[in-house]
Amino acid sequence: MLPANAESKITSNPSLDHFVISFVFQDPLNALNPIMKISTQIGEAIRTKLSPKDKHKILLNLLNDLEISDPEKRLTQYPHELSGGMRQRILIAMALARDPDILIADEPATALDVRIKYHIIELLKKIGKKTNKTILYITHDLASVKGFADKILIMYAGKIVESGPAKTIFENAKHPYSQKLLALMSRSVDNEGKLA
């Protein structure tokens, strides 16, 4: 919360006034409306006015891009009818529906089993490359971003204590906290960030 005489700005550049940021929340069950069909929830995120037919086509394309099986059926379902991994992909679809300049993902796979977790990370990686979007992936699990991140910023006590290319951080971390995080990395992840 900001003091009464303060304001928060991402940029002071007026050319970026319409800069769009989307957010993927950590807990899809709490982020999704339990009494709204998936089609309505994703559809509300689309910023442009479209015919129902064109909107439906965009929804199907989003679900296909996220490798969601039987997308027509999924659009008619409610969140409680989907698995945790499926709900997480629906949140990603909602974020992408806004056609953001930056996608912020806050621990988007933290509550999922390891196989699904790495599948979600691979999907985000694929989407980032396909759409050329910036993805800010927030995590305490460095193993989950190995092979995914181009640049890593390590925060400790609310401050950035180390930053640099991912390869540099993984091979030669300088800050003690960075070194501790790296020591906690799972040994089940290979150098490309895939399950060994």
- Please report the domains of the chain, with CATH numbers, ordered by start residue: 17-138 (3.40.50.300)
The predicted model scores a pTM of 0.80
Dist CA 38 CA 75 (whole Å): 5
Task: Please tell me the number of Cα atoms within 13 Å of 70 on its side-chain side.
Answer: 6
* Single-letter code of the amino acid located at 37: K
* Residue-level pLDDT, tens digit, the chain, 196 residues: 445 555 555 556 666 667 889 999 888 888 999 999 999 999 998 877 888 899 999 999 999 999 999 999 999 999 999 998 899 999 999 999 988 999 999 988 877 888 888 888 888 988 888 888 899 999 888 888 888 889 999 999 999 999 999 999 999 999 999 998 888 875 545 555 554 4
H/E stretch holding 167 reads helix 166-172
Dist CA 22 CA 108 (whole Å): 13
Distinct helix (H) and strand (E) counts, the chain: 8, 5
Distance between alpha carbon 170 and the CA centroid of its chain, in Å? 21
